[in-house]
Every structure is written in structure tokens, then in C-alpha cells.
Amino acid sequence: MQRIFSGIQPSGVPQLGNYLGAIRNWVNLQSGHECIFCLVDMHAITVWQEPEELRRHTLTQAAILLASGIDASRHILFNQSAVSAHARLAWIFNCVTRLGWLNRMTQFKDKAGKDRENHSSGLYVYPNLMAADILAYKATRVPVGEDQKQHLELTNDVAQKFNHDYGVEFFPAVEALIPPAAARVMSLRDGTKKMSKSDPSAQSRIELTDDADTIAQKIRRAKTDADVLPDDPAGLESRPEARNLVAIYAALADMSIQQVLDTHKGQGFGPFKNALTEVVVNAIAPIGQETSRLLKDETHLLHTLRHGAQRAQAIAEPIVSEAEKLVGFLR
């Protein structure tokens, strides 16, 4: 059985893009794989997080993943900082990765913008920690949204260079599992920008804890153009906001873009947004309700994460100890 690893940053409440690009896929992949799902709190602090908020978001995310259908009794769910193997392997990878590789990372460029000098060095070496997350378990399949593709290419480069430098086939190659639909959900306020849990505008995203009224309000206010829906996908080109709403509908209703247009062509955004609201509410609102129920029992959530960390540690420890031995660290 192949081993899956994936992670999400507890830097806010997960949004619809996280769900369609990653979480929904994680839930489906549980049958047929051994899965390790991680709340990557060490990645989150590469940009400033209020400590109390970080704690709260980590618990909320654990609850959301369980509410979405992650089975923490059969698979592993834990927070990254609880397993020290991640940090140890990340340090080795900091010494394997070349600066030139990191300089090519588009996510760093996007996040740091022009003000590069004022960002943390953690943000710069972020992809090395991500490679360590995956390779500490020798996981071979990684379900992610499209924005993480470049980081997984770097993971393969790091693994290859480590194997070459130390003369052993130690780390395996990693395969990105990117969903065919909605691999990149866009902001509701700007169809050229990725939907993100850290966008300053809460109106730009649907959070997985939003109730039906909030979802309806955000979709009603979503930016659109004045035209009607076209009868084929080509008519959505150069209409990023319209394309995004149709893509969300298609992904949640398990339909192709063409099938959505067959049903809604010629409609203006008023009626289409009502139909979309219904589809989103049906998919998301039950997750929010179950999340609030789970959040009432923090002790149980903490226990679940601790238990997950112990099981994760049992897998990662021998792998990372072996890597340290290969490097020449005395024990």
C-alpha cells in the first residue's frame, strides 16, 4: 500500500480552495492508502501568527478535517511541531538544497513581494521543511492543489541530491496528486487571485465554518461581469470571475464545465448564484455544523492529535535517524 502525506497550514480557517484542492481528495484517498495528514504549525509561523490564534486555528483545523471525513483511527492526524523528526530532517535539507533552487520558488516571490529583506528566513527555506515533512515518512504520493506543484518538484530534487551525495537510494521519488477539477480556486473578489485563508478580505473566500446565510451573502456579493453564461467553455475565457464560479459549481456537483453550462447557459448571475449557493451550502454547511460539535470537546481533539503524533513519530524516527547516520552524525 502506498503511503500518502499531506499538510495544511493552521494560519486561518480552511476555505473552499483548501477543500476542493486538497481535503476532499484526502478523504477519498483514505481507502487504498496509508495516510498521514499534518497540521503544519511550523510552516505557519514563517509569517507572524499570534500564539493564541495559532493554537485556536490548529484545534479548529483538526476539527474541520475530522468533520470532513478524515478517519483518525485508521489514519494519522497530528500537528507538525509535535514530531521533532521534521525539524531535524529539514536542517539536513537546508544543507542539501542549493540557493539557486530556492530563488526560483514562485510562492516565496509572491509572498515576499518586493519587500524581500523584511521576511523571515523560515519563509525562504519553507520548501525544505515541506520536503522533510514528506520524506521523513518516505511517502510517495502527495495530494495537493496546483499551487504546491513547484514545491513537490523541489522535494524530488532534494531527494535525488541527497541520494547522490551520500551514494545510496535512500529517499523515494514523490508523485503530486492534483485534482482534475478546481485545483486552483480563485478569490471571490478577484478572479485572477488564488482564494486564500490569509487574504485580508473575508469576502474573498468561503470558509468551511461559514453558515448558510454567510455563504449566500458571500456568493451574492462575489464579483461578476454583466454578461450571461455562455453555452460552451470557450465563452468563459477572459472572464476569470465567471469561470471561477462555474468551476466551483462543477467541482462540487461532480459535473463537467460543459454540463454546468448546458443547464445554465443564457442565465444571468442572479439565478446562477442562487443555484451555486445551494450546491455550496449542501457541501459545506454540514462540515461547519459538525466542526462546532467537535470543538466543544477540546480534550478529545488534543488526545486525537497526541495519539497521531505518537504514531507519526514511530514511523519517522527510524527513517530520520538513518538519514542522520548516513550524513555522519555520531549517536
Q: Mind telling me the catalytic residues?
A: 111, 194, 197
Cα radius of gyration rounded to whole Å, the chain: 21
Q: Binding to ligand TYM (CB under 6 A): which residues in 264-303?
A: none
Q: How far is the CB of 124 from ligand TYM (least distance, A)?
A: 14
45 binds ligand TYM (CB under 6 A): no
Q: Which of 230, 236, 235, 295 is nearest to 263 (CA)?
A: 230
144 binds ligand TYM (CB under 6 A): yes
5 binds ligand TYM (CB under 6 A): yes
C-alpha cell belonging to residue 124: 525562504
Q: What distance in Å separates the CA atoms of residue 263 and residue 187, rounded to the nearest whole number? A: 24
Q: List the one residue from 8, 45, 64, 236 that touches ligand TYM (CB under 6 A).
A: 8
**# residues contacting ligand TYM (CB under 6 A):** 26
43 binds ligand TYM (CB under 6 A): yes
Q: Binding to ligand TYM (CB under 6 A): which residues in 103-142?
A: 130, 133-134, 142
Number of neighbouring beta carbons within 10 Å of residue 57: 23
Binding-site annotation, residues: 9-11, 17-18, 133, 145-147, 185, 194-198
Binding-site annotation, residues for ATP: 9-11, 17-18, 145-147, 185, 194-198
Q: How far is the CB of 270 from ligand TYM (least distance, A)?
A: 25
Based on CB atoms, which residue is closest to ligand TYM, 34 or 147?
147
Number of neighbouring beta carbons within 10 Å of residue 219: 23
Based on CB atoms, which residue is closest to ligand TYM, 109 or 303?
109
46 binds ligand TYM (CB under 6 A): no
Closest residue by beta carbon to ligand TYM: 21
Type of residue at 195: M
253 binds ligand TYM (CB under 6 A): no
Binding-site annotation, residues for L-tryptophan: 133
The answer to whether 80 and 42 have CB atoms below 8 angstroms apart is yes
246 binds ligand TYM (CB under 6 A): no
Based on CB atoms, which residue is closest to ligand TYM, 85 or 195?
195
Q: Binding to ligand TYM (CB under 6 A): which residues in 179-238?
A: 183-185, 194-196
Which range binds ligand TYM by CB under 6 A, 13-21, 63-71, 240-248, 269-277?
13-21
Based on CB atoms, which residue is closest to ligand TYM, 111 or 311?
111
- The residue written with cell numbers 505518537 in the block is 310
C-alpha cell belonging to residue 21: 484542492
Based on CB atoms, which residue is closest to ligand TYM, 102 or 228?
102
Q: Which of 322, 269, 283, 300 is nearest to 163 (CA)?
A: 322
Which chain residues interact with ligand TYM by CB under 6 A? Answer: 5-9, 17-18, 20-22, 40, 43, 130, 133-134, 142, 144-145, 147-148, 183-185, 194-196
